[in-house]
Structure 1
């Protein structure tokens, strides 16, 4: 179905992509993403990939000429212990001759409307330019850490605990992997519900090695690589998934057991991951900088998140059950000032938010919906946002209550798309 965008320049229109569009879309894709992939690989990615396929691909054009494309995947992710429907936007591309004409904005705003109409609480994307998407209502999530550590830095007691506790994956372990993943995801923020094709592509990667705990409470997957012949071996960790803290230490211990064969381990962790507290000499005397003597990796930005509807998004995620009750309810608003915001009352019962309109004075004011998205779905605490001036609370006690109500682990991302 084609929809006309009357406010876009010269009657831009958006519709689902078809097979006949692919030659033109490959030209656009190649111009927007000039990486080493060939046309055959790009075509396969547009037709079917681990997150969706051609039926999820939208094109924007003027008349008969296509000017851009983007995916809108139907996804679910875990937030506050609950699976939340979300629209995953990816592969946004505009033809070189059409850039700077509002094409990308028009296409993305259309995808927002589609996502909202089908019941997605939020939209999620990996931004090429954060400023552009911030103007479209997206807020950042908490930063991610990519550690580069020596395996000998992992505590010896963890490594001892891993002896005899791990085994290689066998074909019958598929359902167990899914069960472990979903149990761990419920304790995390931002992990995606993996569709079968995503699992299949991960498991069929011939360079990815999988190991599962004998008690089936955790698993780990990595790729070993040498960047030069006979050079030091690195482990690139893809999944480190544990149902509980004991299993988590065993998985880290399994990494530590590789110290005689492996020089460095690269592993991504969320901002609040406690592993760094336990590591010793993680940099293994790697040269640092005058103001950074012991580099342990890099900090990088994750995806951006946007709420499709404030009230619906607030109600969709899970919440801590502690402190629930009428006395813990908060009146929140979104806007430049409290008198211009529409107050919403949030009350928590058994981990579920009940969101209703109210005439009561606002307790907690978000400067805009992007800031609310960062707090409600991105792992940012209200008190952190308040330090930047983007959240205003009635008083410090109210801000503490808000931190309790919105409490959620820092954002993590195992499956960038």
Structure 2
């Protein structure tokens, strides 16, 4: 029987949940209709169906990522799951091919995901393109942080804070390449925390929201002296005083809790306030993968350093999205980028490799040394480096 990939329907909800539990849960949970209806809208979910049975599913968050100080429309893929007896039969492939076309129709020029299977996604055009620098920290280290230099008020988040915290998140993230923009209401609501699951707090300075903290509690590891551990899902602050006030709130959980995990890059303010061994890598070492859904649209959507003036002739391979494939000329000038069909096709690369350059994750010269940019000459490498070089891309958001 032929496999069909289509948009999810209301009557598919429980079956999608069942497939997801088979894919991700050690102890499957019952279907929660209220939670499901508050999640990704059905028109942004795909299912793979054989006969009347749903054998695969995925969802796409309506998001964006910051590159060059601009929001680039991005489809955040999550929850890719296939029924155990249908794995290895092309179900995930069919879903991914269909979702690339769907994202292009919606104008989502990038797609980013957190992979469980790098080989699968790499085969279809995604490539490692940024980090999720999760760290573990003994709460005692936070108790020694200095006090804010001025009055910062802390209170729980409320429904009316959504616009203010969204603007704060945007203002802080725009200069951090790879950070996520919460475009839709469904995505933005994550910035308030989920009632009964997370604790949300805002920092206020003279009545204005200047910080956001979202905390989750988890069971303490066996043998740990604490009653629970903490995870910081969001820590966004407009200034150091607001960040210190929020971190001191986290520290106030000690000694009932002994450990906190958080996502923090090496250049963050917190790393300058702690001992060099206080922060330790944690979690599963996640990195995210990105795909250029519409390569020309992605190049045009971001901005570039005003002094960059380059032209590089590319030959792009993309077996999933033929509109990206073939010889193209990359031109960047006056802060604007253009990728047009044609040219000599000097530098040969796959669409995933181009994505890793686009975000600033990969260094052109290193790729060339590894033989991964065949045809690239000195001027090509210099041009690609000037175009895409940036601070290491990272994201504080997991989806």
Whether TM exceeds 0.5 here: the answer is yes
SS at match of 2:148: helix
1:60 aligned to 21, 26, 48, which one? 48
1:168 aligned to 155, 161, 165, which one? 155
Instruction: Check if 1:191 corresponds to 2:180.
Output: yes
More strand by share: 2
Shift of 1:199: 4.2
The alpha-carbon distance between structure 1 residues 238 and 74, as it changes in their structure 2 partners (threshold 3 A), is closer
Shift of 1:131: 0.5
Instruction: Check if 1:222 corresponds to 2:222.
Output: no
Query: Matched residues in 2 for 1:213 and 1:390: separation?
Result: 49
Check conservation: 1:85, 1:119, Cα contact below 8 A: yes
Residue equivalent to 2:20: 29
Query: Matched residues in 1 for 2:362 and 2:143: separation?
Result: 30
Residue equivalent to 2:261: 266
Give per-residue Cα distances to partners, 1:104-147, cap 9 Å, x unaligned.
21121111111122322022222221101100111012332221
Alignment length, in residue pairs? Answer: 383
Give per-residue Cα distances to partners, 1:69-97, cap 9 Å, x unaligned.
22234333322221222222222222233
The alpha-carbon distance between structure 1 residues 230 and 119, as it changes in their structure 2 partners (threshold 3 A), is same
Query: Matched residues in 1 for 2:86 and 2:228: separation?
Result: 45
Residue equivalent to 2:398: 416
Residue equivalent to 1:291: none
Query: Matched residues in 2 for 1:256 and 1:169: separation?
Result: 16
The alpha-carbon distance between structure 1 residues 226 and 102, as it changes in their structure 2 partners (threshold 3 A), is closer
Query: Matched residues in 1 for 2:342 and 2:372: separation?
Result: 22
Query: Matched residues in 2 for 1:150 and 1:378: separation?
Result: 32
1:143 aligned to 115, 123, 131, which one? 131
Shift of 1:319: 2.2
Give per-residue Cα distances to partners, 1:185-217, cap 9 Å, x unaligned.
212223132533344454442441413142643
Check conservation: 1:121, 1:312, Cα contact below 8 A: yes
Query: Matched residues in 1 for 2:106 and 2:123: separation?
Result: 23
Check conservation: 2:203, 2:245, Cα contact below 8 A: no
The alpha-carbon distance between structure 1 residues 191 and 170, as it changes in their structure 2 partners (threshold 3 A), is closer
Residue equivalent to 1:375: 357
SS at match of 1:239: strand
Check conservation: 2:70, 2:302, Cα contact below 8 A: yes
Shift of 1:373: 0.8
1:330 aligned to 299, 305, 311, which one? 311
Residue equivalent to 2:389: 407
The alpha-carbon distance between structure 1 residues 11 and 233, as it changes in their structure 2 partners (threshold 3 A), is closer
Shift of 1:410: 2.9
SS at match of 2:56: strand
Query: Matched residues in 1 for 2:194 and 2:283: separation?
Result: 29
Check conservation: 1:272, 1:410, Cα contact below 8 A: no
1:3-402 matched pairs, under 5 angstroms? 11-41=2-32, 43-44=33-34, 46-49=36-39, 52-151=40-139, 153=141, 159-161=146-148, 164-169=151-156, 171=158, 173-188=161-176, 189-200=178-189, 202-206=192-196, 207-214=198-205, 216-223=209-216, 227=220, 231=226, 234-243=229-238, 263-270=258-265, 273=268, 275-276=270-271, 278-280=273-275, 282-283=277-278, 295-297=280-282, 300-321=285-306, 323-324=307-308, 328-335=309-316, 342-349=327-334, 351-359=335-343, 362=346, 365=347, 367-377=349-359, 379-391=361-373, 393-395=376-378, 399-402=381-384
Give per-residue Cα distances to partners, 1:379-399, cap 9 Å, x unaligned.
33434444543235422x653
SS at match of 2:31: helix
Check conservation: 1:155, 1:279, Cα contact below 8 A: no
The alpha-carbon distance between structure 1 residues 385 and 66, as it changes in their structure 2 partners (threshold 3 A), is same
CA RMSD of the aligned region, Å? 3.5
The alpha-carbon distance between structure 1 residues 194 and 32, as it changes in their structure 2 partners (threshold 3 A), is same
The alpha-carbon distance between structure 1 residues 194 and 394, as it changes in their structure 2 partners (threshold 3 A), is same
The alpha-carbon distance between structure 1 residues 97 and 260, as it changes in their structure 2 partners (threshold 3 A), is closer
Shift of 1:103: 1.6
Shift of 1:176: 2.4
Query: Matched residues in 2 for 1:142 and 1:387: separation?
Result: 21
